[in-house]
Amino acid sequence: MRILVTGGCGFIASNFIRFLYKAMPDVFVVNVDLLTYAGNPASVRDVAEKYAGAYAFVQADIADKDAMQALFKQYSFDAIVNFAAESHVDRSIHDPTPFLRTNITGTQTLLTLAKAFDVAKFLHVSTDEVYGTLGPTGKFTESTPIAPNSPYSASKASADLFCRAWYETYGYPVVITRCSNNYGPYQFPEKLIPLMYIKARNAEALPVYGDGTNVRDWIHVEDHCNGVWLALTRGTPGKVYNLGGDAERTNMQVVTSILDYCNKPHSLIRHVTDRPGHDKRYAMDFSLAQKELGFVPAWTFEKGLEQTLNWYANNQQWVGDVTSGAYREFAKLWYGGRQ
């Protein structure tokens, strides 16, 4: 089976490629990645070497129709799993433009070619953030209305709607997964958990937006990969499946756990200016995926967090390599104005 994985040098898709080789010994993976600031070939170096005969890497933009067409011609894909995206809410607030190109035009380009080349399966990876925000109770279900609040989630919601249109208009068999906040090895350290770990380890101030009572439903990346795999192999065309980790935590709970792991004082926490449009709470009802796909998250948050922080502690070279130039410029710009 030939599978096109987009964004395979990013956090979740690099873990997914690793997962695929275990789940499907006869798979051939083509990893297309533009290698933006968030893409790092070192995140897949081990599998690229181990499975060299069953792996190809192409540096290209998923929104570049000519480049994608050449790829679809070269390989007859059996399936596409679309992870490639601009993924950071704060960056989308600063400059939404690349989010429109990659997340919307990129997805539409892949859908167009997948239909033209008759690719049998298309799994689009989306997010719970398309549903907007929750109050203190309740959970998102697949029939919660789409109500994105950030430029990032607006671009992801738009891509989801194109996937829906491809199914409704052309009968093209797309499946969408919407997942909650991921954590685990190889996450770019602009996101909460690795960012706070690196700051705690260096005894620097930890910038918590607002009062830190915002809640996220955390899922270990391996559980997300399993959910995507189950949806790819067992999902019903045209359907959306929610995936979550059953682990709601406030940002303060997460940040204090990281400080405790590092044996650092809670006084390092700094409450800084809140993120504009900051969603208060996310929580996923994933009972449909449980019933139809057999999806159940295996990691508890406490075990997963410890494994993740151990990974960062043991992979400081990887962290040093990815937190160079472009990353530092954005961090200076974004956090410089937050007191």
Query: CB of 245 within 8 A of CB of 180?
Result: yes
| Identified binder of ligand TYD from the candidate list 36, 43, 181, 323, rule CB under 6 A | 181
Q: Is 128 among the catalytic positions?
A: yes
Q: Which run of H or of E encompasses 97? A: helix 97-99
Q: With contact defined as beta carbons under 8 Å apart, do 243 and 181 qualify?
A: no
Q: Which of 216, 220, 224, 239 binds ligand TYD (CB under 6 A)?
A: 216
CB atoms inside a 10 Å sphere around CB 328:
10
209 belongs to the binding site for ligand TYD (CB under 6 A): yes
Which one of 128, 160, 190, 248 is the catalytic residue? 128
Instruction: Please tell me whether residue 61 binds ligand NAD under the rule CB under 6 A.
Output: yes
- What span, in angstroms and rounded, lies between the C-alpha atoms of 192 and 267? 18
Are 195 and 208 in contact by the 8 Å Cβ rule? The answer is no
10 binds, among ligand TYD, ligand NAD, none (CB under 5 to 8 A by kind): ligand NAD
C-alpha distance from residue 327 to each of 44, 91, 143, 220, 333 (Å):
20, 11, 37, 24, 10
Judged by CB under 6 A, the stretch of 44-52, 57-65, 259-267, 317-325 that binds ligand NAD is 57-65
| Alpha carbons 226 and 243: distance in angstroms, whole number | 10
* Gyration radius (Cα) of the chain, Å: 19
Is 30 a binder of ligand NAD (CB under 6 A)? no
Please say which residue, 193 or 269, places its beta carbon nearer to ligand NAD: 193
Q: How far apart are CA 195 and CA 97, in angstroms?
A: 24
Beta carbon of residue 232, minimum distance to ligand NAD (angstroms, whole number) = 14
> Residues, the chain, total?
339
Q: Is 12 in the site for ligand NAD (CB under 6 A)?
A: yes
Q: Which is nearer to ligand NAD, 173 or 245 (CB)?
A: 245
Instruction: Specify the stretch interacting with ligand TYD by CB under 6 A; choose among 60-68, 72-80, 189-197, 296-304.
Output: 189-197
Pick the closest to residue 99 from 58, 63, 60 (CA basis).
Answer: 63
CB neighbour list of residue 43: distance below 8 Å, 6 or more residues apart: 9, 10, 11, 14, 186, 318
| 152 labelled catalytic | yes
Nearer to ligand NAD (CB atom), residue 6 or residue 226: 6
Q: Which of 251, 257, 308, 323 binds ligand TYD (CB under 6 A)?
A: 251
| Residue with smaller CB distance to ligand TYD, 18 or 156 | 156
For the chain, how many helices (H) and strands (E)?
A: 14, 13
Which residues on neighbouring strands pair with residue 100, listed in sequence order?
Answer: none
Least distance from ligand NAD to the Cβ atom of residue 16, Å? 9
Q: Can you tell me which of 127, 150, 251, 308 binds ligand NAD, judged by CB under 6 A?
A: 127
Residue 181 identity: N
Residue closer to ligand TYD (CB basis): 42 or 252: 252
Residue 44: contacted member of ligand NAD, ligand TYD, none (CB under 5 to 8 Å, by partner type): none
Query: Does 207 help bind ligand TYD (rule: CB under 6 A)?
Result: yes
Please give the size of the binding site for ligand NAD, defined by CB under 6 A.
Answer: 31
Are 32 and 6 a contacting pair, CB within 8 Å? yes
Of 149 and 268, nearer to ligand NAD (C-beta) is 149
| Residue 309: exposure state from Cβ atoms within 10 A (0-12, 13-18, ≥19) | buried
Is residue 320 within 8 A of residue 176, CB to CB? The reply is: no
Restricting to residues 151-210, which ones interact with ligand NAD according to CB under 6 A? Answer: 156, 179, 181-182, 188
Of 152, 172, 241, 312, the catalytic one is: 152
Q: Which residues bind ligand NAD (CB under 6 A)?
A: 6-7, 9-13, 32-36, 38-39, 61-63, 83-87, 102, 106, 125, 127, 156, 179, 181-182, 188
Catalytic residue annotation: 128-129, 152
